[in-house]
Structure 1
């Protein structure tokens, strides 16, 4: 992997020299802007709202790092962004994505701590699904030499979120028990690995039955999400569990609270049950909302239970806790270098295959993280139906069910 970093550095330096010497060749005559490929969300709705097109390349501002992107992370949150079910999303058209990895291409004024050619991973407040991103230096971290770009794009959001929920919010200690939903996903696998770094922690994983064979060894006890897991867990731990990590919401909120033992902590960090179809459904949203247990503070007081919420992106981009996240990242990179944790990559997809990658997440077919590989070439089938755009980047509407009849196969990592 160190060799990969060296090769990538030479490639980047050559590219920069070429741009300096022949900058006019890369300039659009109409807008005088260098171009890049990016995934554009034209409006909130179904998969047909996504299109890969060309747009002006950003340049770093004061305190920012410009990154030539190699890989981007794809999360269930991105489905919610596409549907417009997140709180206060930017007005479309927009470039989705919150995490990426790549090579430092240039630095803004007064940006310190990085050099051109550094291999990095970064958080981005939208705009990650593109060939180039610019983000404040506080959100950028150097990659270990042995870490691949795909691993780095799968590392930052999942492992930082999992670590902070377990150790900062729930104060995980030896001998405790943790129940995690979506145990086969990126965060679920990160939770399982981090729990294994603490002695005698019991992990109850909830996942779709078809994932059990692949993830059985990562948890202590594994249950089908479609069965009555409450009774199964209570057979093993009659007093309940210490920590519940819930990314589903809806009816699972009440179930999670009922499983907590005294002084236990329930943490809500997502609401994937709100997404039931390709487009936003008010009925589904309302149903999930009314299924949420109405929390009575007096009952919490009487039962000695803790209920908490966690959003890493809000912590970073709205609440300014970059230094805390940096300290967590340092600890995680130490664990990675000690080979105690390793991100699980489900599959690699070209930017032009973003619709199919999103469908895989929606179907909950992934084990680990889905990655958009910026340098991966799409299949010929992709090239004909995912990249056609006008010069302005406007998409043509296509039937919502158009993709159902087409076979798409990811590159399984």
Structure 2
């Protein structure tokens, strides 16, 4: 075959099997072509999420999918090619995209046009990839499930992560909201700057006692990304008519590889939710899964995305990018997330420009805040 007809290849991060860091493999794939209703996107940035850790360890995949497959649930870039029937996008458009069937951690991704959205020139690609999982989840949890209103109070678990950062900023779009947030002590100054009213060091302080000392009757909304015993205990600080929304299982992650005992313990603690206690205490417990919502109500997800971009343009929200890593640094980036060292969003890019003599990732403030990074 002549050189001009050689098949185009792109680099992707593939999950070779469930397990440790060595299961994340950078390799070449055939460049995808869009089918009817799809676009291909030249990827400029990919979002990393805690759910990617669940996927790698085999704790949970959205559609029960088994490796090998290309990882990633969100990306941003430039439309490369448009499939038949697509009217909303054209080649050259700047877009953010999401897919819970994975495939986003690639130099070129093939995506249904229904899960893409235009982004303004004022929004960087790195900021854009913070929107689909973190900010859309935060918005739906606070306003669709939580019905957040003026003068209420919210407890945000893991307030320094990508989701916690988004929840905090969206709480501040409502007047007089008191926000409790758990995070390691070295992150407290910056989460307060983001809007947290009461920062709680979960390593040294019982968050239940700390919340009760400031709000004896409890809080109106709890955003739980931890699960397990923390999910059960958090109900002690929920007001009557309060809403507890469960969005993650990060307590199942304790290291590089899955611990079956840890996972079973967290699952068992979650299983034993008492309907009698919920009724007696006038509590609502909700579960949120962005993937299944995207499948069953894609219109609502698109509506929220449009509103979030409007809030961004109005200066009311702004994602914080903790650090940017190349595909070849995916293991280092993953370790940072496993160790809970990030403040805000971790981002992957296909290739990163490096200054001579500077092999370190592009970071924003985190190196100063945590000297161990």
Q: TM-score range by the shorter chain?
A: over 0.9
Of 14, 27, 46, which residue of structure 1 is paired with 2:20? 46
**Which one of the candidate residues 92, 108, 121 is aligned to 1:132?**
108
User: Structure 2: any 5+ residue segments left out of the alignment?
Assistant: 365-373
How big is the shift at 1:27? 4.5
SS at match of 1:279: coil
1:231-250 deviation line (CA, Å, top 9, x unaligned): 11111110000000010101
Report how far residue 24 of structure 1 moved: 5.8
Establish whether residue 155 from structure 1 lines up as the match of residue 106 from structure 2.
no
Aligned length: 360
Partners of 1:115 and 1:121 lie apart in 2 by: 14
Q: Considering only CA atoms, is the larger Rg found in Structure 1 or Structure 2?
A: 1
Within a 5 Å distance, the mapping from 1:241-390 to structure 2 comes to 241-292=219-270, 294-317=272-295, 319=296, 321-377=297-353
Deviation at 1:379, TM superposition (A): 9.8
> Is the contact made by 1:105 and 1:116 (CA closer than 8 Å) also made in structure 2?
yes
Q: TM-score, normalised by structure 1?
A: 0.84
Unaligned runs of 5+ in 1: 1-22, 382-406
1:255-290 superposed Cα distances (whole Å, 9 cap, x missing partner): 111111011000110001111121111111122223
How far apart are the structure 1 equivalents of 2:129 and 2:250?
Answer: 21
The superposition leaves residues 217-241 of structure 1 with CA deviations (integer Å, 9 ceiling, x where unpaired) of: 2211100012211111111110000
Please give the secondary structure, in 1, of the residue aligned with 2:13: strand
Q: Distance in 1 between matches of 2:301 and 2:187?
A: 31
RMSD of aligned residue pairs (Cα, Å): 1.9
Shift of 1:156: 2.2
- Of 96, 106, 115 in structure 2, the residue corresponding to residue 121 of structure 1 is 96
Matched, 1:209 2:189: no
**Shift in Å at residue 377 of structure 1?**
4.7
* 2-structure distance, mates of 1:378, 1:128: 23
Aligned equivalent of 2:80: 105
Contact 1:350 1:377 in 2 (8 A): no
Distance 2:4 2:88 in 1: 29
Question: Partner of 1:401 in structure 2?
Answer: none
Q: Which residue of 1 aligns with 2:29?
A: 55
Q: Is the 8 A contact 1:69 1:100 kept in 2?
A: yes
Question: What stretches of structure 1 move > 3 A for 4+ residues in a row?
Answer: 23-28, 290-293, 377-381
- Matched with 1:223 is 200
Deviation at 1:409, TM superposition (A): 3.5
Could you list the per-position Cα deviations for residues 350-397 of structure 1 after superposition, in whole angstroms to 9, with x for gaps in the alignment?
00000000000000000000000123157999xxxxxxxxxxxxxxxx
CA contact (8 A) 2:131 2:305 kept: no
Please state how far the C-alpha of 1:410 moved relative to its aligned partner.
2.0
Shift of 1:293: 6.9
Tell me the TM-score normalized by structure 2.
0.93
Superposed displacement of residue 60, structure 1: 0.5
- Whether 1:238 and 2:216 are equivalent positions in the alignment is yes
Q: Is the Cα contact below 8 Å between 1:356 and 1:408 reproduced in 2?
A: no
Aligned position for 1:403: none
